[in-house]
Amino acid sequence: MDHIVKEFQDLQDDICAGIEALDGKARFEQDTWVREGGGGGRSRVIRNGSVFEKGGVNFSHVFGQLPDVITQKLGLPKGVDFDATGVSIVIHPESPKQPIIHMNVRYFQTGDGTHWFGGGIDLTPIYVVPEDAKFFHQSLKDTCDKFSPTYYPEFKEWCDKYFFIKHRNETRGIGGIFFDHLKADTEEKKADHFDFVMAVGRTFVPAYAEIINRHKGEEVTETNKQFHLLRRSRYVEFNLVYDKGTKFGLDTNGRTESILMSMPPLAGWEYNWEAPAGSEEAQTIAMLKPQDWV
Tell me which residues are annotated as active site: 102
Residue 247: enclosing H or E segment and its boundaries?
helix 244-251
Alpha-carbon distance 136 to 174, whole Å?
Answer: 9
Cα-to-chain-centroid distance, residue 236: 13
Coil, strand or helix: which one is 16? helix
Pairing of strands 175-182, 29-34: unpaired
**Which segments within 125-258 are labelled E, that is strand?**
164-165, 170-171, 175-182
- Other Cβ atoms closer than 10 A to 202: 14
Q: Would you say 155 and 144 are in contact if contact means Cβ atoms under 8 Å apart? A: yes
Of 127, 150, 123, 128, the C-alpha closest to 139 is: 123
